[in-house]
Structure 1
């Protein structure tokens, strides 16, 4: 393994040493000043140095207050100097070395743009990048990527942009929230859908800027918050015709695993007003498509939280009322398996259509996906009890999940006139799934003075099936009144969710220490059927009144009515399907929520301060019984809370921003937690509800500072956050002394808290050649749990350190490396002997080479380590992937690729975690070494012919 690292490092150092060879030609410094025709300095002008051969970007900077700039340590070669400033004709000059150590160009005059000179401006305006305030525009053709590359590959080349190994994007030090294509949404709000599937060759410009939040756009209120956005501008030839990409590949069977296959096709047709995209994929290589989270879809209405942008009120992250996690009640067996876990077969397809004009915007899409995952897992859980005792549970399981989902989305926005806007949003999802689980659990008791003693064995067979439907519909109306800044907004939402699930539970339990145990605990053969229906109606009003030049008064009202009905029937299949009342339940709940609030906002020269207060009341009117035919017992609760909110957003000069805020989040107990019902889907881990729960209050304070220098592309980002919990909903535990069955029940505890900070710093070691990003994250948590009536305090101290290095010294070589170190120190008050430290580290390196004859070579090594000395757990997982591919044909439309995945045959998914009174480890067998031969064809609707005349 060390040899592999050494080989990669040697390749890198060889390239760098060659570039820095002592025999290289003499270097020199280039300097000058940008001024206008009156010799007045043009501060903050964009200055770029281009390679005279191919116009590729060599270096860039911005002029100082006196208009001066300087490039140091330049190789003796021909360059093109380009200076640009808004309202002036770009200045171009060819630079040839003179043999002197310093070339001083003196004052370089830029001419203002006039109508007569407009044609000259158009011909000379093309530049690798343009900086206008906080907006940076990159000319894609100036940043070379191999043929067939995706937009994600292109973004990796752009100064000031970072893309991690999972495809997450950061620009100017901030996370990118949205990626648009020609200003239009692309497959919803998932940035990776565009960057992973669109071809880099289709892009002419990449624009990075701060956009208003959707909430701010819809309400017309400047809340001071921005979303970092990337817009991809298509080339004209790709706007006029269709383009796409088709890939098909296969590989031989290996390691007693069937043959591999992978197919994917995407077609796009865009014009100035319309976009159409279609995608189809299928594979058995654990690639689950467009990064849509299948499990989140499977849960139901949680997938539609984005409709809450019509819930007016405080713009803090906790302005919504939370109804808990009710949807899992009909999914008693968790659906496991994500990308890279187990063995999966996947198929998906989708179409997307956008129509965008000044007055009308329409976006609609349909997406289908089916995933089958087989999981062979080994889990170990160690649960700490008061004193020195502990329970250790080992779980060996085999699980097969099949999930199918259809998702339809629709968004329509219409400018009725200059004063009125109407927005209609509708999203629907329906699907079904089934899961088969076989599990063998063993429980051992350690009294703290000797070795583990076996107490319980449980063999379980679970078969689960579920059919689900969810839909969310929102109508939003906004009216601008005659007085400038005065506006009125109203919205209405209807959401519905239905879930029909069935669980066949068979279990045989052996209790070695218990002398007398109910026979029903020894043999379980049950049918657990659950039918749930949920409808929610919401209405919101917002009135904005500017009463002074810098002040705005906002008043809002929120209404919500939710109706839940759940019928849970559990029968004993060994007793003529006799109903088990202790596990069955029928209930109907009505949740009524009202909130009235007001805030005052001050805005002036980038400073945005808001302070407000709201009063809210939540009322639960519930009825429950063991059977629908029995008299219903009431559960009635009324919670009234006063919610303060304070926020500060300050956009300062020189691309700096500051935020600070305080808000209170309210979490209402879920209906599942409130109902006095017992669930035994895991016979050794039983859950029970608590009708006396109170709402949880989260007092949140946070702040962050962001700085980005567009001249040096240096970024700095830091934040700090803390939360204090009042009436926190925690799951206390009781362990039966005879059977060691763990029973959990939610209760309210006050005193939990969390404190954390994140700091990130990025800068170019050498512009366009090397970039380094460093980050550190600290988190300190204090959590409370009651174990056998004894209060346990768990303190977690988490320290993370990371770094990313990007090296592109030549066009034919690129190297990306990152390292992440994570240490968690966990301490327990009830059992200090079990205090422990967990280490989770990862290292990754990617090397890309372009060889002669249009041949390209890629290799990546991902090395992960997991360590916990207390549990005697120490695991290293190296994953080595390699591919070589060749571009075919004169038009370079086709590619043939040979890939090898996990060459060392070491892939296994491992995780370790420290909870409030337990630690757990998990090992899941996953797809290991395999080989793939694939062919890719790139389609183009219209051939683009670009004629190069002179320098751009």
Structure 2
């Protein structure tokens, strides 16, 4: 709190310093040569010396503008308006408090086609409708900075400590490079890897959905997008970066990337290796490193509005291959290697995107945990010590080919392939305490796995001669083949001190083999008929036929050899048939969009299972389910304001792992999981509303959203805990779970180009029912979060980005109110950049986390100040080389400590993880070719 007060005093001092300087006001109005006023014209105030942006705004409805409280000095006033030549005027403040420039006239472009106009200042930004274009060179960042650092400097843009981007208060969902989705669906891969010096312009706009782009019918839905326009020197040449570093405690890192562009082709390669817990990529790295026009998971031809359904790669579903290790920087120690390449070809009629990527991760993890579980009749405590070692390797490849056959027909072919293998070893010592009773379990489990996954899709689109009439058809084939072996060893000792009986010892010594195969054939049809210029009728049909086969064999290792355990072994097949037919009526005109639709959904499950595939008698499981799914969407956009209201019913089919009949997972004999073939699909009624506003004149923006959800037949894992503290969980349907939430973001400049303040809040209230030993337990969790972000650029060589987050979670339990708890999770920190004389740069990042749990029996407090510091200098011609000294976790306080609250237990876990180390690294930048070199379309 003391540091916070000091920071506020510093800010107040800065504001006072600004206020004490001699100030004056600049005003005027903008009109065309016919004296007609021009509302919405972009007006910027620049310094004559270096054209740095001082202030900016837009003219009001009367064409007037005004800059108040401006420091008394000469300026350049620049005016831009679509269809008119830019106007530039020198401003001399004079001696008065107000400098009135009167009415300034700008000329239409078409009347000056033969005139050569030389401008002495390039506009730092321009505003056209809902698109804001920033001139990257006008916003100075330290040498060697990435695009992420550049984005932080832009008015109206915020980047948090994790690299997530907000523009005008809304989350940025997509980042493109020269209009192409160069880095797939993860914006951070582009912003964290591309150098700021390669960027010419940054354009922020509201992008239409892929469906609206394809059909030409505006559905009113938008997502905030950023386009990075490259400099000409980088478009026609190569650029990249290579980094090598060595540190204390045998730490190392190697990283490199290289990119080449021309008007039709793009090629990229990257690779890295390290033992500092950095994979360098997101969880879905295989789809995020794909390049131009890359495949995304919404491009599978599943036409019609969203209402849930089946997903091939949506989690492993009990069928896929586990991915372990290296994905969190505060858990264990990992060694990571990866490399990949992609190639993209893009012309007016043909688009090809292809890539291959390989990565491997080895992880070691050692942890201790303290867990308290509460039951209707009492509680018990589990104290565990765990160690784990894992190794995974993944090969991933994908390709997307789009061909415009003619002006009316388009064909899209998509293929994705993934191959995985690895192993895992887990050791655990678990001690259970309840009153005078104690028991113990020692685990030694090892497994190996292999997997192959394939997803292919073909989409055909046809536009009729009648405008707005469209037809599309798709077919897809998916394959998921995996197998593995496991060794399950455990010793379980049960003590019953209350009766004086001796200990009971149960040992498990088993080998398990498991193989699974899933095939799926899918197809969809979609037709749009325009009823009028503003009314459209849509109809769609979705079909899927899926077959799952699982063969699980469990062998007890005895003195007589391996004996098959018929109770735990299982062979089964499931056939899923899915049909959905629906219709939508849509109205779209002048920013107002409303649609209402209805779909009939029919599921059929036909399963057969037995203890062995050679069994003469199989048990059949047959289920059919039909429901109606409504959908409503309404939104209205007016200039820079929008509001929307949405309602839908999400239908989610049970996963195969949840339906497994009679299959018991006893890999941890204290926590038994079993399937339930009688599960029904779950339904969630969702209602969402939103309102956003952005003023491009003063850059004040706010965004508000509200959401509500109600669950019917929600799939939860009810638990039964017996007298030996063995927990058996079984998925079952239950109704009554609810979700209510809100989100608010409000941002405004304290001083344009110098200081921007962003305030945010989110409130969420959840109710989750679950049965514990046949007693209904309603867990209510209320979450309150408030945050403050401040972007300060006092001058070009000093930037500061402090942030403050306050979070409170209030959890209450109906069956044991004494375990109610409040968790306080606060984060204070920021980032600072300083440029010293001699080309020396300093960077500091601080994250101070305060975590406090208030509970009658299980209180916990944790304070973690994590400080990273770096100093670096660039050298060689054009600053192509860089040497950097970095100190990670200066205070040596990083601890992998987590405290979590679930539906019937709270748990504290401490994991040994990477803490303080120092690293010296050298980087070499490959710059783009100079613009005067090779101006052809080749490499």
Pairwise TM-score range, normalised by the shorter structure: over 0.9
SS of equivalent residue, structure 2 residue 194 = coil
Q: Distance in 1 between matches of 2:2 and 2:89?
A: 48
Asked if the contact 1:797/1:824 (under 8 Å) is kept, the reply is: yes
1:694 aligned partner: 680
2:848 aligned partner: 863
Q: Deviations over 1:478-535 (max 9, x none)?
A: 1011211111110111111111122211111111128899999711111122111111
Q: Deviations over 1:307-360 (max 9, x none)?
A: 55410111x4x3444689773536898846523121111111121222111111
1:428 aligns with 2:428: no
Rate the CA distance shift 1:683–1:517 in 2: closer, same or farther, 3 A.
farther
Asked if the contact 1:178/1:190 (under 8 Å) is kept, the reply is: yes
Asked if the contact 2:185/2:296 (under 8 Å) is kept, the reply is: no
1:943 aligns with 2:930: yes
Q: Displacement, 1:71?
A: 0.9
1:722 aligned partner: 708
SS of equivalent residue, structure 1 residue 245 = strand
Q: Distance in 1 between matches of 2:281 and 2:913?
A: 20
Q: Displacement, 1:292?
A: 3.7
1:662-811 to 2 correspondences below 5 Å: 662-674=647-659, 675-737=661-723, 739-811=724-796
Asked if the contact 1:583/1:677 (under 8 Å) is kept, the reply is: yes
Asked if the contact 2:300/2:457 (under 8 Å) is kept, the reply is: no
Q: Deviations over 1:829-850 (max 9, x none)?
A: 1111111111222111211111
Q: Deviations over 1:778-811 (max 9, x none)?
A: 1111111111111111111111111111111111
Which of 404, 407, 419 is the matching residue for 2:393?
404
Which of 82, 85, 90 is the matching residue for 1:86?
82
Asked if the contact 1:879/1:907 (under 8 Å) is kept, the reply is: yes
Deviating more after overlay: 522-531 vs 202-211: 522-531
Q: Distance in 1 between matches of 2:223 and 2:841?
A: 36
1:388-787 to 2 correspondences below 5 Å: 389-445=378-434, 452-513=435-496, 522-575=506-559, 576-630=561-615, 631-653=617-639, 655-674=640-659, 675-737=661-723, 739-787=724-772
Which consecutive unaligned segments of at least 5 residues does structure 2 have?
Answer: 289-293, 934-939
Q: Distance in 2 between matches of 1:325 and 1:37?
A: 60
Asked if the contact 1:205/1:233 (under 8 Å) is kept, the reply is: yes
Asked if the contact 1:83/1:91 (under 8 Å) is kept, the reply is: yes
Q: If the length of structure 1 is used for normalisation, what is the TM-score?
A: 0.93
SS of equivalent residue, structure 1 residue 310 = coil
1:910 aligns with 2:888: no
Which of 343, 347, 355 is the matching residue for 1:357?
347
1:448 aligned partner: none
2:818 aligned partner: 833
Asked if the contact 2:470/2:527 (under 8 Å) is kept, the reply is: yes
Asked if the contact 2:494/2:503 (under 8 Å) is kept, the reply is: no
Q: Displacement, 1:692?
A: 1.6
Q: Displacement, 1:114?
A: 2.4
SS of equivalent residue, structure 2 residue 37 = coil
1:262 aligned partner: 253
Q: Displacement, 1:625?
A: 0.9
Which of 20, 33, 39 is the matching residue for 2:18?
20
Which consecutive unaligned segments of at least 5 residues does structure 1 have?
Answer: 254-258, 298-302, 446-451, 947-952
Q: Displacement, 1:122?
A: 7.7
Q: Distance in 1 between matches of 2:320 and 2:486?
A: 8
Q: Distance in 2 between matches of 1:370 and 1:390?
A: 42
2:835 aligned partner: 850
Asked if the contact 1:202/1:235 (under 8 Å) is kept, the reply is: yes
Q: Displacement, 1:115?
A: 6.1
Asked if the contact 1:442/1:454 (under 8 Å) is kept, the reply is: no
Rate the CA distance shift 1:172–1:835 in 2: closer, same or farther, 3 A.
same
Rate the CA distance shift 1:215–1:402 in 2: closer, same or farther, 3 A.
farther
SS of equivalent residue, structure 1 residue 216 = helix
1:313 aligned partner: 304
**Aligned length, in residue pairs:** 921
Q: Distance in 2 between matches of 1:94 and 1:75?
A: 15
Rate the CA distance shift 1:323–1:306 in 2: closer, same or farther, 3 A.
closer
User: RMSD over aligned Cα, in angstroms?
Assistant: 2.5
Rate the CA distance shift 1:169–1:292 in 2: closer, same or farther, 3 A.
same
Asked if the contact 1:730/1:749 (under 8 Å) is kept, the reply is: yes
2:365 aligned partner: 375
Asked if the contact 1:49/1:57 (under 8 Å) is kept, the reply is: yes
2:291 aligned partner: none
Q: Deviations over 1:616-638 (max 9, x none)?
A: 11000101111111122111100
Q: Deviations over 1:240-293 (max 9, x none)?
A: 11111111111122xxxxx11111111111111111111111111111112244
SS of equivalent residue, structure 2 residue 318 = helix
